[in-house]
A = this chain, B = another copy of it.
Amino acid sequence: QPKFDKLFGKVDELKGEFIDILGKAVEIPAVSGDESLRPMVVKKAHFLVEQLQRLGFCDIQLKHLGTQPPPVEDPNLQLPPVVLSRYGSDPKKKTLLVYGHYDVQPAKLSDGWETEPFKLHVDEKKQLMRARGATDDTGPLLAWLNVVQAHREAEVELPVNLITCFEGMEESGSLGLEELIAEEADKYFKDVDAVCISDNYWLGTKKPVLTYGLRGVNYYKTTVEGPAADLHSGIFGGTVAEPLIDLMQVLSSLVDSKGKILIDGVAEMVAPLTEKEEKLYDNIDFTLDDLNEATGSETSLYQKPKDILMHRWRYPSLSIHGVEGAFSGAGAKTVIPAKVNGKFSIRTVPDMDSKKLDKLVIDHCDKIFKKLGSPNKCTTELIHDGAYWISDPHNPSFTAAAKATKLVYGVDPDFTREGGSIPITVSFQQLLDTSVILLPVGRGDDGAHSTNEKLDISNYMNGMKTMAAYLHYYAESD
């Protein structure tokens, strides 16, 4: 189609400018987790406003979310604003909301960066751009703006109404965003037909992916308490029921070394694997070696890539994280801890009912503890949960994105899920009652949250082209 030739040609033509704008953006150290850098996060919001104005976005609003809740040093610390804006408001067009975040993880040269983390380093040889935020998420966020610029300069009409929702608190728990989405669902976000989030990564380094699912997580704490204070094992060992010994019995009953969850009723809640779903796992660009490389070990529970991916994405898992209240230092301390909290979590998947899971877990722990006949007290509680997310990978939005990917990369994308949760995905889907797609720009080895974070120039350029084509295919869909 000639419009794509024009658009893609313009993207190529503007390459230098697009790299420059990323360079300007990453120079602002917008670390949301560092209170002292909060003014820089706000500065980056204003930088985005300037760009939106330059590109003709309208109805630009900085949504203030109020004071950051404790723990904070400064009790009056303001949350960074959410940047809302529109491009077009044609009632005959579909409306797409694009989400991105302009805050970044902390970074220091001394952490092991090859170049200054807050200065874009363009490695001409490796054809990549290195900086904190390059791939998470400043690069993908700017890619959306660049797509609009390419349309303007190529004089191709934007086929959808675009709404931006850019937050500055993603790396610190997206505080306040869910409330804003709820608040604006019938207002600013009233006409949204679909949401597109570019804030995850390809599974590997070679093949583009579209992501249609995320696991949720239910995090539990099992507390065993007995003596009023820690005791000396010389004096009391052998005469009192030790809370940590009881806790070990409870924790060791949850899961076996093969990863099998031993809590009755959990496996039964998992959605059965359909043939159609299983097909999505064929030919995914992933091997056992990829897992071993990522863990730096040969500790995989499965040998076949399909089994590994299914257990990462579509089956629940139970991890034990640690014990609070026991001796955790180096050396030899002869303490009998008086009160210990075992921490474990279950990654949840369709069709697990979170509340029902809580009951199964708590009942299981109670039952195991009761069998011990211990005079101590044991309680188990949920301390945090986040819902899983699943989308239909065959809906119009995914179909458009798959077509765009094929057009740009010449291959069908892998349809992936992720093992971790991105809570805001569920919020958008539920609160706006709309479909969400995760359309990643960067690769699996980009090192988001790590030292030497990078974005390959080809991913930046092809990412914009894919986004552009996606807008058109999605606009054309039924």
Instruction: Pick the residue among B241, B298, B328, B329 that contacts A257 (CB under 8 A).
Output: B241
Digit string of A290-320 for contact with B (CB within 8 Å is 1, else 0)?
A: 0100111111111000001001100111111
Residue among A249, A335, A372 having the largest count of chain B Cβ atoms under 10 Å: A249
Q: Are B372 and A257 in contact (CB under 8 A)?
A: yes
- Determine the distance from Cα of A334 to Cα of B219 in the docked complex, in whole angstroms: 8
Find residues 304-350 in chain A having any chain B CB closer than 8 Å to their own CB: 308, 311-312, 315-324, 326-337, 343, 345, 347
A244-B321, A322-B323 known; A229-B296 Cβ under 8 A: yes
A316 to B320, CA, bound (A): 30
A234-B420, A384-B332 given; A299·B337 CB < 8 A = no
In the assembled complex, the Cα of A258 lies from the Cα of B295 at a distance in Å of: 39
Whether, in the assembled complex, A233 has its beta carbon less than 8 Å from a beta carbon of chain B, the answer is: yes
Q: How far is the CA of A145 from the CA of B421 in the complex (A)?
A: 71
When the two chains form their complex, are residues A326 and B327 in contact, meaning their CB atoms are under 8 A apart? no
Q: Which residues of B contact A333 (CB under 8 A)?
A: 321-322, 343
Which of A10-18, A101-109, A373-381, A404-412 lies at the interface with chain B? A373-381
Q: Are B245 and A257 in contact (CB under 8 A)?
A: yes
Cβ contact within 8 Å between A239 and B297 = no
Whether B237 contacts A246 by the Cβ 8 Å rule is: no
- Whether A272 sits at the interface, judged by CB under 8 Å, is no
Chain B residues with CB below 8 A from A320, complex form: 242, 244-245, 248, 326
Contacts of A308 in B (CB 8 A): 239
Would A297 and B334 be within 8 Å (CB), given that A320-B242, A374-B257 are in contact? no
Q: How far is the CA of A241 from the CA of B330 in the complex (A)?
A: 24
Residue from B295, B323, B373, B421 within 8 A of A323 (CB atoms): B323
**Cβ–Cβ contact A295 & B252, under 8 A:** no
Whole-angstrom distance between the alpha carbons of A233 and B226 in the complex? 30
| B238 with A316: CB separation less than 8 A | yes
Which residues of B are found within 8 Å of A19, using beta-carbon distances?
none
Residue of B nearest to A261 (CB): B238
Indicate how many identical chains form the complex.
2
User: Which residues from chain B contact A273 at a C-beta distance below 8 Å?
Assistant: none
Q: Are the CB atoms of A255 and B245 closer together than 8 Å? A: yes
Q: Are A418 and B235 in contact (CB under 8 A)?
A: yes
Tell whether, in the assembled complex, residue B238 and residue A295 are in contact, meaning their CB atoms are under 8 Å apart: no
Residues of B within 8 A of A343 (CB): 327, 332-333
CB distance from A224 to the nearest CB of B (A): 10
A309 to chain B minimum Cβ distance, whole angstroms, is 8
Q: Quick one: which of B235, B240, B311, B324 contacts A328, CB cutoff 8 A? A: B324
Instruction: Digitize A253-284: 1 where CB-to-B-CB distance is under 8 Å, 0 elsewhere.
Output: 00111110000000000000000000000000
Determine whether A185 belongs to the interface, using a CB cutoff of 8 Å to chain B.
no
Report the Cα distance A376→B259, complex, angstroms. 13
Instruction: Identify the interface centre among A246, A332, A373: most chain B CB within 10 Å of its CB.
Output: A332
Report which of B244, B299, B317, B324 forms a contact with A376, defined as CB distance below 8 A. Answer: B299
Smallest distance from the beta carbon of A20 to chain B beta carbons, Å? 34
Which of B233, B259, B295, B376 is A319 in contact with, Cβ under 8 Å? Answer: B233
A47 CB–B CB distance under 8 Å: no
A251 near B: Cβ within 8 Å?
Answer: yes
Q: Does A215 contact B (CB under 8 A)?
A: yes
Q: What residue of chain B has the Cβ atom nearest to residue A296's Cβ?
A: B228
Asked if A232 is at the interface of the complex by the 8 Å CB criterion, the answer is yes
B residues less than 8 Å from A330 (CB atoms)? 324
Residue in B closest to A312 when the chains form the complex, CB atoms: B239
A and B contact pairs by CB, cutoff 8 A, 28 listed: A226-B295, A226-B297, A228-B295, A233-B321, A233-B345, A234-B418, A234-B421, A236-B312, A238-B301, A238-B316, A238-B317, A239-B311, A239-B312, A239-B419, A241-B259, A256-B372, A257-B372, A258-B373, A298-B375, A299-B376, A319-B334, A320-B326, A321-B334, A322-B323, A324-B329, A327-B343, A328-B328, A334-B420
Other A-B pairs, 13, CB within 8 Å; known A239-B291, A241-B259, A319-B334: A217-B233, A228-B295, A232-B420, A234-B418, A235-B294, A237-B419, A238-B419, A239-B259, A239-B312, A248-B251, A257-B374, A321-B335, A321-B336
Nearest 10 CB-CB pairings of A with B: A234-B420, A228-B296, A238-B317, A322-B327, A322-B326, A328-B328, A237-B317, A252-B252, A257-B372, A233-B319
